Amino acid sequence: MGDTLQATKNRYGIIGNYPALHRAIETAMQVGPADITVLIRGESGTGKEAMPKIIHGSSMRRHAKYIAVNCAAIPEGTIDSELFGHQKGAFTGAHESRKGYFEEADGGTIFLDEVGELPKPTQARLLRVLETGEYMRVGSSKVSKTDVRVVAASNLDFDTAIGRGRFREDLFYRLNQVPISMPPLRDRGPDIHLLFRKFTADFSDRHRMPPIRLDEDAVELLTHYPWPGNVRQLKNIAEHISVVETDRRVSADKLLDYLPEVNTQRLPMALGEGGEGGAEDSFSEREILYKLLFEMKSDLTDLKSLVLKMLSEGPFEVETQEGTELVKKVFGNETGGDLVQLPARRPSATDSVPSPDVHSPHEDVVEVSENLSLVDNERELIIRALEKHGNRRKLAAEDLGISERTLYRKINEYDIK
């Protein structure tokens, strides 16, 4: 299966090694000879159109016609005529009879892309074709027969569409005999850079110019970008960069200029000083400072509760280098003030007693100055979050309540290794 899988990928120009992508290709190859209806689901731009070609090429119909129809691109008023044909005079402009796609593809395969966009009356006609192979041209009363393998694709949420009455439930189950899911590009990790290199290499060969190369940080940025347009968006950006950039070595900062700002909030990359993201970064800084102050307050509250608990238990002994000391707790006032005095250890017989006019009762009290620098505390909080999540910046940023981009800038700003 491994050699066959790779041969299929090469034949249809499929790039990537993501396991879910391999499962989709293998399912398409296995279902090809079965001659049953297949529904391919996935976001727009994930490459769904390659699966019906694999299915058709693996079937007994591979020598017959293969017709791809974009249902969303055909106006509602003419969709029935396009799919099932029409008779002369059936409507204004119908000057002669015309075959529909189901008649043209008889004996072959028809791919209905964006099948979820079909109007309800057309859905009923399609269901009849799938169940009986019968249809009627628009304006005709004669029933015609067709033998067509139907493969459909859609990014529609069918559960919601069925619940709202936008899509027929019986048609969905008839189309969904074998489901194939295409993974979104953002989940495919290293495949993203492979695809980018393929697109830039193809462009450079076509226009005879050096291919684009990405710095290490740019590759990481490319991998973490959410890619709402999936492979289609990646190809457009790769070609855009190939056309515009004179320096064929692209850094992360330069790559960021080509990524839509609305979709970069999850990225581990900073904008420069005074950039377009200044307001967002400032807001994120306030967020992390507020979080820091709340955590400090929580820590102080816990510490105070612990001290008060110790005070309520009476005197206690503490082991020191010089022996056992009796530590006496003293409240600053009767209501439990914040003053806690720890006198020196209990004098022994060998100790000399200091004269009262030499030592003050408070001379042995050591004052500890707490570091109240927000910068230092912010740096420490970021380090703790990174250590907690094993240096996985995405999880650390979520724990801190900030974007990965802000966290990435803070790591560089504070020189955190």
93-107 pLDDT, tens digit each: 888 889 999 999 999
What contacts 362, CB < 8 A, 6 or more positions away? 341
Q: Is the pLDDT of residue 282 over 50?
A: no
pLDDT tens readout for residues 286-317: 556 656 666 676 677 777 777 776 666 655 55
Residue 360: burial class (beta carbons within 10 Å; 0-12, 13-18, 19+): exposed
At 265 the pLDDT is: 46
Looking at CATH, the fold of the domain delimited by 2-183 is given as Rossmann fold (3.40.50)
What contacts 373, CB < 8 A, 6 or more positions away? none
Q: Which of these ranges, 33-42, 241-250, 262-271, 289-298, has the smallest mean pLDDT? A: 262-271
pLDDT tens readout for residues 366-417: 444 445 566 677 888 888 888 888 888 888 888 888 887 788 878 878 888 7
Q: Which amino acid is located at 165 in the chain?
A: G
Average pLDDT over residues 188-213: 92
Q: Which residues sit opposite 181 in a β-bridge? A: 41
The answer to whether 310 touches 329, Cβ cutoff 8 Å, is yes
pLDDT tens readout for residues 326-369: 444 444 444 444 444 444 445 544 455 444 444 444 444 444 44
Q: Domain segments of the chain: what residues?
A: 2-183, 187-263, 276-310+370-417
Confidence band (pLDDT; 50, 70, 90) for 17? very high
CATH class of 187-263: mainly alpha
**Type and span of the H or E element at 240:** helix 230-244
At 331 the pLDDT is: 41
Q: Which architecture, in CATH terms, is 276-310+370-417?
A: Orthogonal Bundle (1.10)
